[in-house]
Amino acid sequence: MVNPEIEKRKTFAIISHPDAGKTTLTEKFLLFGGAINTAGAVKRNKANQSNTSDFMEIERQRGISVATSVMGFEYKDKRINILDTPGHKDFAEDTYRTLSAVDSVILVVDCVKGVEEQTEKLMSVCRMRNTPVIIFVNKMDREGKEPFDLLDEIEQKLNISLCPLSWPIGQGHTFKGVYSIYNNHLNLFNSDKTKVTDSVVAVSDLNDEALLDYLKESEVQGLKDDTELVDGVYGKLDKSLYTDGLLAPVFFGSAINNFGIKEILDTFIEIAPSPRLREAEERDVLVEEKNFSGFVFKIHANLDPKHRDRIAFLRICSGKFERNKFYYHTRQNKKLKFSNPMDFMANEKSIVEEAWPGDVVGLYDSGNFKIGDTLTEGEKLQFKGIPSFSPAIFKEVENMDPMRTKQLEKGIEQLTDEGVAQLFVMQPGNRKVIGAVGELQFEVISFRLEHEYGAKCRFRTLTYSRSRWVTSTDNKKLEEFVKRKQQHIGVDKEGHPVYLADNDFMIDMTKRDYPDIEFHTTSEFK
């Protein structure tokens, strides 16, 4: 028997290329779930693209109201947990890590712009873990791409089979509404941006005369032709293909106008998977297991220098988490108990007594945790699925204030534990190199080192733009490689050797020269 507490949980993330409508859709879900009363309550986590102080200000506010990192609410007897991801592309790695803590995702695509760069990257991360994906085509109130063309584009660029479960009637200024293919009802377009309105017309099928009360004959005919074609091309939904991450149901709508939201939310809670088994290095961990286990996927710093504590976000994988109980920190080999674990219901944080698989609890942390750490009831486990990815920019840290060397070292250590960027220690000379996805991360590191640790540093840009984690079945060969390529070898925080290269060409050459060495694009390999 599956525990009903686990079965009712739906933990997911809404992801998109910036500006496609992720924040708006999140907010509308919260409105439907009754977690907020008016639109505009969810803080936008978008930074002005080039302005660091703006960004830091937003981060500061977010740091205070950490509740926005996880938004839990009850909807139709289900407990929904939406995990928030940063909007800015320079923080993509934070998003990738958050995706390790969800059971499914909703991917938002702008119908005018189609599949964008970040959409493709996010999808490839979902594919790595076979995460089930539902696609929401947003902004149907705008003159965008024709739906069938858009589906072709999504299928090709995202390399996934699709199954439309709703279909738009018109688009842009002729947008009339969406027809739910999944449960045969018609939802008419009634733009209301601030509250939830129900304008659903139940029809038996597309031959129902009642449709003509709302749509012109030509519109009904157009809808019949379209849905026939949809049925012929895409067929019926195969739920197991969806839960295996091989097929994505598609919905159309307009988030800002509250439109198509109910269709996607209602279907989502019906078909989206509840928490499932998780892979650990040692074994697979089942959700129904009696013993508690969980892992840290995000650490949120308190940006107020007077309160240095951080909040570690723990995703529960099995058993029941309880307040004030000792748990085993498997990396540090010590026991910890938490007297004020936080829950994030209705966009507010409160102390939680117990939590179940699928839930995320916030733990006050004074420096015990780093990303990927596992807690259990005593078993030595290490959950998989939180790899580091190859950064794009590498810079060497140069200390600007020798009197504050210790503070600088501590700051770099802690910030990279939090996952702000990656740290590589170059073999000759113990030089510290920071690897990041974007420039903004370096600015954030400088700012925080100065404001939180009182340390000053300069970053010297290096020519590298790729990193590959290197392994070999032959230890001697690996040692030899590391020795020969000394100048290009950094050691990551786990102690693994990493080969840093200027470009793909250089990597290909090295691969050819060292056939016994394996080169990995992420830090997780087996």
Shortest Å distance, C-beta 112 to ligand G4P? 9
Where does residue 504 rank: exposed (0-12), middle (13-18), buried (19+ CB within 10 A)?
Answer: exposed
Count of residues of this chain found to bind ligand G4P when the rule CB under 6 A is applied = 19
Tell me which of 6, 9, 21, 330 binds ligand G4P, using CB under 6 A: 21
Site for ligand G4P in 417-476 (CB under 6 A): none
Taking the CA atoms of residue 24, residue 30, residue 34 and residue 39 in that order, the dihedral angle to the nearest 10 degrees is -30
Site for ligand G4P in 243-262 (CB under 6 A): 254-257
Q: Are 169 and 254 in contact (CB under 8 A)?
A: no
Pick 196 or 277: Cβ nearer ligand G4P: 196
What lies within 8 Å, CB to CB, of 436 at 6+ separation is 90, 391, 392, 393, 395, 421, 422, 442
Cα–Cα distance measured from residue 316 to residue 319, given in angstroms and rounded to the nearest whole number: 8
Cα–Cα distance measured from residue 439 to residue 55, given in angstroms and rounded to the nearest whole number: 13
Is 139 annotated as belonging to a binding site? yes
Amino acid identity at 203 = V
Is residue 222 a contact residue for ligand G4P (CB under 6 A)?
Answer: no
Stretch that binds ligand G4P, among 13-21, 163-171, 373-381, 495-503 (CB under 6 A): 13-21
Residue with tokens 């928030």: 84
Is residue 22 a contact residue for ligand G4P (CB under 6 A)?
Answer: yes
The helix/strand/coil state of 347 is coil
Tell me which of 8, 43, 46, 431 binds ligand G4P, using CB under 6 A: 46
Pick 45 or 267: Cβ nearer ligand G4P: 45
Shortest Å distance, C-beta 11 to ligand G4P? 20
Is residue 302 a contact residue for ligand G4P (CB under 6 A)?
Answer: no
Cα–Cα distance measured from residue 32 to residue 117, given in angstroms and rounded to the nearest whole number: 30
- Structure tokens belonging to residue 207: 């031959």
Cα–Cα distance measured from residue 239 to residue 462, given in angstroms and rounded to the nearest whole number: 48
What DSSP state is assigned to residue 155?
Answer: H
Pick 18 or 454: Cβ nearer ligand G4P: 18
Is residue 89 a contact residue for ligand G4P (CB under 6 A)?
Answer: no
Cα–Cα distance measured from residue 59 to residue 6, given in angstroms and rounded to the nearest whole number: 32
How far is C-alpha 407 from the geometric centre of its chain's CA atoms?
A: 32
Is residue 116 a contact residue for ligand G4P (CB under 6 A)?
Answer: no
Shortest Å distance, C-beta 225 to ligand G4P? 25
Cα–Cα distance measured from residue 234 to residue 64, given in angstroms and rounded to the nearest whole number: 46
Tell me which of 5, 19, 450, 524 binds ligand G4P, using CB under 6 A: 19
Pick 2 or 41: Cβ nearer ligand G4P: 41
Instruction: List residues binding ligand G4P (CB under 6 A).
Output: 16, 18-24, 44, 46, 87, 138-139, 141-142, 254-257
Binding site for GTP: residue ranges? 16-23, 84-88, 138-141
Binding site: residue ranges? 16-23, 84-88, 138-141
